[in-house]
Amino acid sequence: MFKIGLTGGIASGKSTVLTYFKDKGIPYIDADIVAREVVEPGTEGLQAIVDVFGLNVLHDDGTLNREALGAIVFHNEEKRLQLNSCLKEYIRNRIMELTANYEVQDTPILIYDIPLLIEGEWYTMMDEVWLVYVNEPTQIERLMSRNGLTKEDAIARIKSQMRLDDKRSYADVIIDNNGTPQTLEAQLDTIFSDRIKPLLQEAQ
């Protein structure tokens, strides 16, 4: 099974890229979905968060209050690392479980959409790393527009992640998303033809 690690940063367009390949029928594991699964009510992951951050990060119905938790961690590097530490084991175990399921099915290609692909050293188990890249001014502008954030809040969220420029050296493929949606799609068409189709044909 050929493993592709897809990474980027907040407001880089990674979800758009993943959707393109999803629509082509390529199987994927989305770490954000996994991260939500492992903090459902009654899970060990949610209890681990409560143990560190207290009951004020829960809604009245016992579900995680993401806004309250986000307000704590986005401006505090130590708290953000604590959160990652809480959930790392649960997320890793679930991703490995899903990987094993795909391997049993003889899946030829699997895309891993993992925001912390580099930081969490997931890249070491990938056959290729694909980076969705935008420059920082574009990233700030898109994040402000998408989430209705102030410039200060947008910068804080971007700074809480590894810089996209620092991720470039890990990437086998850099998908430049500074341009228009049409430019992005043209790049993805080329990647699909040149890199994905041959792998699918090989597996037939």
Does residue 136 sit in the same domain as residue 189? yes
Question: When comparing pLDDT for 98 and 161, which is higher?
Answer: 98
The tokens describing 148, both together, are: 């209705």
Task: Decide which of 106, 141, 166 is a domain's last residue.
Answer: 106
Domain limit, last residue, from 61, 84, 106: 106
pLDDT in tens, 170-186: 999 999 999 999 999 99
CA distances from 128 to 6, 117, 125, 160, 172 (A): 9, 12, 9, 25, 6
Predicted confidence (pLDDT) per residue in 27-53, tens digit: 999 999 999 999 999 999 999 999 999
Q: What percent of the chain has pLDDT over 70?
A: 100
Please state the rounded mean pLDDT for residues 83-102.
Answer: 94
Percentage of the chain lying above the pLDDT 90 cut: 82
Token pair recorded at residue 168: 């470039």
Q: Are residues 74 and 122 in the same domain?
A: no
- Rounded distance, CA 108 to CA 54, Å? 43
Radius of gyration over alpha carbons of the chain, in Å?
18
Q: Which range marks the domain in which residue 99 is found?
A: 32-106
- Both tokens of 49, joined, read 């968060």
Tally the domains of the chain.
2
The two three-digit tokens of residue 86, written as one number: 């809480």
Closest by CA position to 42, among listed 54, 50, 34, 32: 50
- Do 87 and 119 fall into the same domain? no
| Residue 76 pLDDT | 87
